[in-house]
Amino acid sequence: MKDGFVPSVSRFAGRPLAAAVAAALLFTVAACDARDRAESVVAKEDLKPGLDPNPLAERVTLKAATAGNGEGYAVLTLAEAMGEFEKENIDVQIEVVSPASTIFALMAQNRLDLAVTAPFAGMFNQAADGSNIRFVTGGGEVAKAADAGWWQRPGGDGTTSACDLKGKSVAIQTGGEGNPLAVSLDTYLNSCELSIKDVTLVELTPPETVQALQNGAVELGSVALPFAKALKESGDAVLVAPWNKGIIGTIMGNLIEDRPEVAQAVVRAMLRTARTHLQGNYYSDPDVLTALSKIIGVEESVLKAGVPRNFDPNLAPPLDSVVPLEEFWIRVGGLLNYDKPLGVDKITDSKVLESVLR
C-alpha cells in the first residue's frame, strides 16, 4: 500500500446500488428461463450436531470486510442479516472496502479480523514475506446461466476471435494483471497464441465496461448479468469466454492461531448460512429474499427473476482457483516478488474448517 493512501471504506448497511454494483462483478441476476435449479435446502434438523450454535462465553466484536454488497459475499453478509453470528455471541461489523486489493494490507495491520474476497497478487506477496493471512473457506460459484465472462465486440463481418485483440484495449476490474479475472482473459487470448501482454488493460467497473463496449472504447470486457443484459439484447458484444469458477473465499489472519474458538464460531455460523439459507432456489425463502434485497440493494422481484449462485455446503477453500492464479502471475512477471510457487499451505489453512466439520 502506498504511503498516505487511504482505501475507501463504507458501512455495509444501506449502501447505494450504484456503488455496490460497481464493486461486485460477481453479483448475478439472470433470466427466468434458468428455473431448473433444485428447490431443496438442507433441513435444519439434518445439520451435524457440531454445526449447532455454541455461543462464546464472552461477547466478541469482529471487524470484517467485503469488496462489495454482491451476492458472492452472502456467506458473510447473510450470516449477519439472518442472526447466525448473533447465535454464536459475536457482533460482526461488516465494511465494504475499495479497492478490494487493499483488504490484505488492512488485515496485516490488524484493522480487520476476517474478510470475504477474491485473491489478489498482493496477498501472495504478503504470504511470501511471512504473512499469516490464509483462505479458510470458499464461497459460491457463479451460475452458468448468468452470462458471466468476457464479452467481445463483433468485427465488421459479425464474427469474434481472440486473434482480433492484439494491441486492443480490454476492460478489467481493479488490479489489472493482478486481478484474479486476468487468468481467464489470458486463457482466451492463448487460444490465438496471444497473451495478456498483447493487449492494453483498462480498469473499469462493470457499468463502465458495458458503456465502453457499446461505444467502442474497448474491444473486450468482463461482465455478468444484470450488466450483460444490455449487451445481449443489443448485440453490441458477444459472450466469448464464460467463467463460473468460484474465486471468492473467507480469509483470516491472527484469528486462526490467537483465538481459534472464535474462528471456529465464525466458520460454524457461515456453514449454517450456506446450508440452511443458500441452497437450491434460496430466493423462494421469503426471509432470505428480503434480506438479500436489502443487502444488495435491488428489488425482490429482480432477485426472484434471477439465478441463485451455487454455494458449496462445505465451503471448501477455492484451491483449484488459487493455484492457477499463482502460476499465472509468476509466468506474467512483475506482480509477485518471487518466482517459484509457495505451496497451497501458504495461501490456505483448512484446520478451522476441518475442526468444525469433523
Distances (CA, A) of 355 to 136, 137, 274: 11, 12, 17
Place 248 in a pLDDT band, splitting at 50, 70 and 90. Answer: confident
Distances (CA, A) of 218 to 170, 179, 209, 227, 249: 5, 18, 8, 16, 30
What gap in Å lies between CA 56 and CA 20, rounded to an integer?
32
Residue 3 lies in a domain: no
Claim to verify: residue 44 and residue 136 sit in the same structural domain: yes
Residue 216 lies in a domain: yes
Place 224 in a pLDDT band, splitting at 50, 70 and 90. Answer: confident
For the segment 16-44, what is each residue's pLDDT rounded down to a tens digit?
333 333 333 333 333 233 333 333 344 44
What domain range is 238 assigned to?
149-242
Claim to verify: residue 251 and residue 223 sit in the same structural domain: no
Claim to verify: residue 290 and residue 331 sit in the same structural domain: yes
Q: Using the predicted structure, report yes or no on whether residue 15 has a pLDDT greater than 70.
A: no
The CATH code of the domain that includes 35 is 3.40.190.10
Q: Is 248 helix (H, G, I), strand (E, B) or coil?
A: coil
Look up the pTM and report it.
0.79
Claim to verify: residue 89 and residue 161 sit in the same structural domain: no
Q: What percent of the chain has pLDDT above 70?
A: 83
The residue that leads in pLDDT, 271 or 175, is: 271
What gap in Å lies between CA 132 and CA 227, rounded to an integer?
37
Claim to verify: residue 13 and residue 112 sit in the same structural domain: yes
For the segment 90-136, what is each residue's pLDDT rounded down to a tens digit?
999 999 987 777 898 899 999 999 999 888 888 899 999 999 999 99
The residue that leads in pLDDT, 317 or 164, is: 164
* Cell representation of residue 10: 463504507
- State the chain's mean pLDDT as an integer: 83
Residue 13 lies in a domain: yes
Q: Which range scores top for mean pLDDT: 2-11, 159-168, 179-188, 198-207? A: 159-168
DSSP string of 253-313, one letter each residue: SHHHHH-HHHHHHHHHHHHHHHHHHSSSSGGGSHHHHHHHHHHHTS-HHHHHTS---EE-T
Residue 2 lies in a domain: no
Q: Using the predicted structure, report yes or no on whether residue 10 has a pLDDT greater than 50.
A: no
For the segment 44-60, what is each residue's pLDDT rounded down to a tens digit?
445 554 689 999 999 99
Residue 314 lies in a domain: yes
Domain termination site, one of 242, 272, 302: 242
Claim to verify: residue 158 and residue 211 sit in the same structural domain: yes
Claim to verify: residue 195 and residue 303 sit in the same structural domain: no
For the segment 299-314, what is each residue's pLDDT rounded down to a tens digit?
898 788 777 888 889 9
The number of folded domains in the chain is 2
Instruction: Please tell me the predicted confidence (pLDDT) of residue 144.
Output: 64
Q: What's the whole-number mean pLDDT along residues 248-255?
A: 93
Instruction: Please tell me the predicted confidence (pLDDT) of residue 178.
Output: 85
Claim to verify: residue 119 and residue 237 sit in the same structural domain: no
Residue 36 lies in a domain: yes
